[in-house]
A and B are shown apart, each in its own frame.
Chain A
Amino acid sequence: MTVRVLFFGVLAERMGRRSETREVADGTTLETLWKGIVAGHPALAGAPPPAFARNAVFTAPGVALRDGDEVAFLPPVGGG
């Protein structure tokens, strides 16, 4: 299935991009998606685990993705 992945803040800077489209296996969770991305990107090594959002809503790491989801990895927030 296909998901759209968004990066923000320091994560976007380290990834060198703000978004990408990924093919993932059925049953992939937010957490396993994140771990897969970290494994493929040495620039993220040592990054603290971000908060996860699925379709613009905070979501627990163990939730499974669905085709067409928009996933976001959110570093600790710094607004205001």
Chain B
Amino acid sequence: MFRIQSGPLNLDEVVAAVAGPEEGGTAVFLGTVREGNAGRRVLWLEYEAYPEMAEKAMALIGEEIRSRFGPATRVAMIHRVGRVEIGEAAVIVAAATPHRDEAFAACRMAIERLKGEVPIWKKEVFEGGEIWVDNCAHEVRGRGDLHETPLRNEHPGAEPPLDPPGGNRAP
């Protein structure tokens, strides 16, 4: 299951999508909207996607994770578009493998690669304005002058995402 959708995400559906007789461990990650970011009070987030390309990219990531962790690996990713409120899930990623070590690693890899590669964009609507935030820690104001502000890496200990195969991204 690799899907872009509008409307609330269903956790049970994602877990069911990776369940299987060979899979003994399932790891699930939910990315939910936080109220505070970079000193701003967030009101809500708005996500958009290039759906056809995003679903292909997610499926390819799932397939590569399966190649890495073994044929009994199952991965699912769903990502919401449109307005997402504080506390709501914008993304759910699940990975199931025979044993738990691989499940945790596969789930982590799936979300890191999604954040690094999949054509989805996020606009933060906050008290005082709105701003596009990307996963390379740039911020670009949606209204007014184009402005980039380097930020601290939000996950200093995280493994960096793998380069997209044959891809190119803006720095």
A77-B120, A79-B118 are contacts. A8–B146 as well, Cβ < 8 Å?
no
Render B137-153 as a binary contact track against A, CB cut-off 8 A, 1 for contact. Answer: 01010100010100000
The chain A residue with its CB closest to the CB of B79 is: A79
Q: Is the pair B119, A53 in contact by a Cβ cutoff of 8 Å?
A: yes
Segment 21-79 of A: residues with Cβ below 8 Å from B: 45-53, 56-61, 72, 74-79
Q: Is the pair B48, A76 in contact by a Cβ cutoff of 8 Å?
A: no
Bound Cα distance A12, B120 (Å): 13
The chain B residue with its CB closest to the CB of A12 is: B48
The chain B residue with its CB closest to the CB of A76 is: B134
How many residues on chain B are close to A (CB under 8 Å)? 40
Chain B residues with CB under 8 A of A16: none
Shortest A80–chain B CB gap in Å is: 4
Chain B residues with CB under 8 A of A78: 120-122, 132-135
Chain A residues with CB under 8 A of B117: 77
A46-B146, A60-B168, A78-B132 are contacts. A8–B50 as well, Cβ < 8 Å?
yes
How many residues on chain A are close to B (CB under 8 Å)? 30
Q: Is the pair A51, B90 in contact by a Cβ cutoff of 8 Å?
A: no
Q: Is the pair A77, B168 in contact by a Cβ cutoff of 8 Å?
A: no
- Tell me if A15 is interfacial: C-beta within 8 Å of chain B: no
Q: Is the pair B49, A79 in contact by a Cβ cutoff of 8 Å?
A: yes
Q: Is the pair B134, A75 in contact by a Cβ cutoff of 8 Å?
A: yes
Bound Cα distance A24, B53 (Å): 23
- Tell me if B68 is interfacial: C-beta within 8 Å of chain A: no
B residues adjacent to A (C-beta < 8 A): 31, 47-50, 52-54, 56, 79, 90-91, 111, 114-123, 132-136, 138, 140, 142, 146, 148, 164, 166-171
17 further contact pairs, Cβ within 8 A, besides A6-B50, A8-B119: A51-B169, A51-B170, A53-B50, A56-B52, A56-B53, A58-B169, A74-B50, A75-B121, A75-B140, A76-B138, A77-B121, A77-B169, A78-B121, A79-B47, A79-B119, A80-B79, A80-B114
7 pairs, A vs B, C-beta closer than 8 Å: A13-B132, A49-B170, A51-B170, A57-B56, A79-B120, A79-B135, A80-B115
Question: Which 5 pairs of residues, A with B, have the shortest CB-CB distance?
Answer: A79-B120, A9-B121, A58-B167, A78-B122, A76-B134
